[in-house]
Amino acid sequence: MIDEGVIKYESVWDRGKPLSEEVLGELMGWRDRLYTLGLIGAYENGIGFGNVSQRLGDGDEFVISGTQTGHLPHLEANQYTRVCEFDLGANRLRCCGPVKASSESLTHGAIYQRCPEVRAIFHVHQGQFWRRVLHRVPTTGAEVPYGTPQMAEEMFRLFEEEHLAQARILAMAGHEDGVISFGESLDEAGAVLLRWFEG
Q: 101-124, pLDDT tens digit by residue?
A: 998 899 999 999 999 999 999 999
In a domain, 130, yes or no: yes
In angstroms, the CA 100 to CA 50 distance is 15
Whether residue 3 is contained in a domain is answered as no
Number of domains in the chain: 1
Residues contacting 1, CB < 8 A, separation 6+ = none
DSSP 185: S
131-149 pLDDT per residue, tens: 999 999 999 999 998 877 8
Chain-centroid distance of CA 15 in Å reads 21
Residue of 102, 82, 89, 93 lying closest to 11 (CA atoms): 93
Q: For residue 141, how many C-alpha atoms fall within 13 Å in the half-sphere facing its CB?
A: 12
Average pLDDT, stretch 46-74?
95
Integer Cα distance of 125 and 26 in angstroms: 21
CATH at residue 57: 3.40.225.10
